[in-house]
Amino acid sequence: MKKVLIFTLVGLLLFTSFIPFIVNGQDIDDSIGRIDNQGHKISNKTMTIDSYTMTTVRKPLLVVDSKREVTLEINTSGVAYGHELLWKANTTGTNYEESAVTYANSIAYIGSCSTHGAGYDKIFAVSTTDGEILWSNDTGPGYVGPVIDEDVVYIGSCSHGYDPENEYMYAFDRFTGEQLWKTPIYGGIAESFQYDDTKIYFCSGFYETKIYALNKVDGSINWIYPTGAQVCANKPMLKDNALFCALWYDFYEGKLFKINASTGSRIWDVSLSAGPWDNSITADGQGRIFLAIYYDITINAYNETNGHILWTYALHDGALSFNAYHNGRVFIADNSGYVYALNASTGQLIWEIKVGNCCDISSPTISGGLLFIGTRDGPNGAYYALNESTGSILWRCPIGASITAPPSVVDGMMFCGSDAWNMYAFDVGVGSGDWLLHRYDSWNTAYSPVGLTHWEFVQATCTTTQGVTTCVVTNTYDHLVQNITMHLPYKANWYTKTGELLEENSNTYTLESLPSEDSLTLLITRASNEINISIEIRNLAITIVVTNKGKHTIENLVIVGDITEVTGFCLKGNRFETTIDVNPLETIRVKTDLQVGVGIMDYRVLANDQEVNWYYYGPDRYVLLGIFPVDLPDD
């Protein structure tokens, strides 16, 4: 195969989530689909669910990593965005950490999930200024997120059916962490809850599921509605003095209830197409409510007045994600990593995009024209920001662990937990407001109109021509940003725009800092594991030095030097071409008839119709920029 090596004397830069029951040995005929021990569908066969095994993991010391940094995944022919990580605090659990972060007055609250893995069994209050842990208090196991109401923060516990008589609803002073009251709830609270001026509303999670209303002041029971269901793993919705709840009876049966919030009496209930699991009931304010049914792989719209189904849309996979709603669109993600935007009136697909292999319970959160979500992809887990209108991926930040929690966007920051002990805080721009409920408001829209009002970021705009990538890195934040790390999927050489080598043979490069509204240009060439190229200048003559470091003979390597136009003087010769073979571990010096002159300090070279700088520092030191697209075999 013919190899082509082109250089132009424009330089030499390029030289160089869960199952309903855990039953020992019990066979369950699941004609809808086989469910594994994380609640995922496998196949249409009879299954056996084995008992759940807990693994003891040593809890880390409670510390905060306040190193600020930005991660950019370079798009060599497009634009990449990065958000500044403000801090991370190890306040979460290690598996199915699905507690959303709530926020008010520069304090964030999160629960540490230990139901399906190691955790702290606590609620934490964290200063969002620096990530300092202000207080924590014991809650027992659970995964439901806290809710803020003025000076009180509420949270429920749930053992996922292992210890149903030792589960509670708690109220804490949100500034001191003092426990104000706790009320025992048989079966625990598996999902979040709602409140109004006087009461808290929720479903008990497991076994003889009931719908509750508690007095906010002392936790006393106001009313109870028995449902006859086995599980309530869905977020209720409070709207117009009515509580909407979705209940799981078995894989094939579910019901949607509308309950009078004042009296606890049933307004209506309707049967669902299958058992609902881990979703939120969401309203659009136009008479429609939305609910995904995990066990028949759909999302559906219902009439708010009578519960009649309005439309249904089949997803690629079951959805454990919670819904979001904004501007006539309902958003959801599924367990195969797809994110969807649907027309709320018709159910018609507007866009879909695959962001990973599994989104699980991490759910769409919307503000400032962006949709934030995470992926439950183990070591490949990452945070994403999508364009709300088109679904295009704008930002990806891998963290090396699964993300099961839904993000919260408030006061210009994005908060989210992870399955690796840490809660993360990112600066995403300018915003305001609070995030008091798990899905922002009592309609579970997960849309904040004020959380992000002006998007800020670090941006890398890149173009690639003849093997050379030029990236302009710009800081749009209103402050200096430090530790900007850029990633490529391959090893490369990184240079300044004048040809000074910054990093050799690396898939990452880190800028120490970049001032506000400032830009920096980098040149990037793909590193070869086979060939090394350098330049020698002796007595003003240019010699190309080629070394084959690989195992293969490089045949028919064409070296072409071409000067289209020179503004200046003392550059002699305008064309050179030769063909060589280079054996393994061989070095060949190729003399050219191209020369440089002494004393040239700074002038322009126009090569391949692109103008670049060439700096000459004297007879022994120089910087040249060149272009070397080389087609080489892989080792």
3-15+530-623 folds as: Immunoglobulin-like (2.60.40)
pLDDT class for 530, splitting at 50, 70, 90? low
Q: What percent of the chain has pLDDT over 90?
A: 59
What average pLDDT does range 301-318 have in this prediction?
97
pLDDT for position 633? 38
Could you tell me the pLDDT band of residue 537, with boundaries at 50, 70 and 90? Answer: low
Query: Using CA of residue 248, residue 338, residue 484, residue 414, what is the dihedral sign?
Result: negative
> Pick from 434, 450, 443: which is nearest to 368 by CA?
450
Name residue 127's amino acid: S
- Do the domains at 3-15+530-623 and 458-526 have one common CATH topology? yes
Q: pTM value?
A: 0.79
570 within 8 A of 522, measured Cβ to Cβ: no
Q: How far apart are CA 451 and CA 438, in angstroms?
A: 14
609, pLDDT greater than 60? no
pLDDT digits (tens, 9 = 90+) for 56-94: 455 676 778 889 999 999 999 999 999 999 999 988 888
**Distance from C-alpha of 238 to C-alpha of 10, rounded to nearest angstrom:** 67
Read off the pLDDT of residues 315-374 as tens digits, 9 standing for 90 and up. Answer: 999 999 999 999 999 999 999 999 999 999 999 999 999 999 999 999 999 999 999 999
Which range (142-151, 323-332, 558-567) has the least confidence? Answer: 558-567
For the domain bounded by 84-455, which CATH number is listed? Answer: 2.130.10.10
CA distances from 3 to 528, 559, 581 (A): 13, 9, 10
pLDDT at 17 over 70: no
Three-class SS state of 538: strand
Q: Are 179 and 140 in contact (CB under 8 A)?
A: no
Mean of the pLDDT values across residues 19-41?
32
pLDDT of residue 115: 78
Question: Dihedral through CA 195, CA 201, CA 202, CA 203, nearest 10?
Answer: -170
How far is residue 542's CA from residue 146's CA, in Å, rounded to a whole number? 69
Q: Dump pLDDT digits (tens) for 198-222.
A: 999 999 988 889 999 999 999 999 9
State CA 362 to chain mean position distance: 9
Task: Classify residue 517 by burial, with Cβ atoms within 10 Å: 0-12, 13-18, 19+.
Answer: exposed
Q: Which CATH class is domain 458-526?
A: mainly beta
Position 477 pLDDT exceeds 70: yes
State the pLDDT at residue 604. 35
- The residue behind tokens 């402050």 is 479
Q: How confident is the model at residue 596 (pLDDT cuts 50, 70, 90)?
A: low
- Both tokens of 582, joined, read 């280079």
The CA distance from 229 to 247, in Å, is: 6
Residue reference for tokens 């990184």: 494
Average pLDDT, the chain: 82
- Give the pLDDT band (50/70/90) at residue 260: very high
Calpha distance 595→233 (Å, rounded)? 76
Q: What is the DSSP letter of 99?
A: P
Number of H helices, E strands in the chain: 0, 54
608: pLDDT strictly greater than 70: no
Residue 540 banded pLDDT, cuts 50, 70, 90 = low
Closest by Cα among 97, 101, 173, 212 to 440: 101
The answer on pLDDT for 458 being more than 90 is yes
Nearest to 174 by CA among 152, 144, 147: 152
pLDDT at 258 over 70: yes
User: Which of 75-79, 404-408, 464-468, 537-541 is predicted with the least confidence, judged by mean pLDDT?
Assistant: 537-541
When pLDDT is cut at 50, 70 and 90, the band that residue 518 belongs to is very high
The more confidently predicted of residues 43 and 487 is 487
Q: Is the pLDDT of residue 29 over 50?
A: no
380 phi and psi, to 5 degrees?
-100, 10
Q: Is the pLDDT of residue 635 over 90?
A: no
The domain locations on the chain are: 3-15+530-623, 84-455, 458-526
User: What is the edge-to-edge ordering of all strands in the sheet holding 122-127?
Assistant: 102-104, 107-111, 122-127, 133-138
pLDDT at 535: 64
